[in-house]
Amino acid sequence: MFKRSFVGRLALALSLGGATLGAHAAGEQYFPLQSYRVGPYAAGGTGFFGGFIDYLKYVNAGGGVNGVKLTWSECETEYVVEKGVECYERLKGGLNGAPAAATNPLSWASPTPPSTAPAPTGCR
């Protein structure tokens, strides 16, 4: 179930990112990556972020998304709240004028900045 929902969210992020591509003429869409390849959760983060970057490279090798190449930069959070917030604040502005398509904190726990956490809802 997690895999299916993640793929759906990734597809949504890519499609929404495609709507903002007219904002810059470089033909690239930027994805900031808040990774954790070191630290207490490195065992999970190393495989995921390595695979995610491989997927972005795969998409680019096939011509990108409708001819738009994907670019990214990685910021190491070590799964620490303060580093996660710092990375989010640094990367949310985009890259060279290209807005960020989506942020991918890969967690609703430790390193997720409060501004990206879901609003609490009542249980029924």
Higher-pLDDT residue of 97 and 6 is 97
**Within a domain: residue 13?**
no
Percent of residues, the chain, with pLDDT higher than 90: 26
Is 2 inside any structural domain? no
Closest alpha carbon to 77 in 31, 113, 119: 113
Give the range of the structural domain holding residue 39, as residue numbers without chain letter.
Answer: 26-92+104-113
pTM: 0.64
Alpha helices in the chain (DSSP H): 2-19, 42-61, 81-91
Q: Which residue has the higher pLDDT, 26 or 87?
A: 87
CATH code for the domain in which residue 66 is found: 3.40.50.2300
| Tens of pLDDT, residues 1-15 | 445 555 445 544 544
What is the number of domains present in the chain?
Answer: 1
Res. 82: pLDDT tops 80: yes
108 vs 66, residue with greater confidence: 66
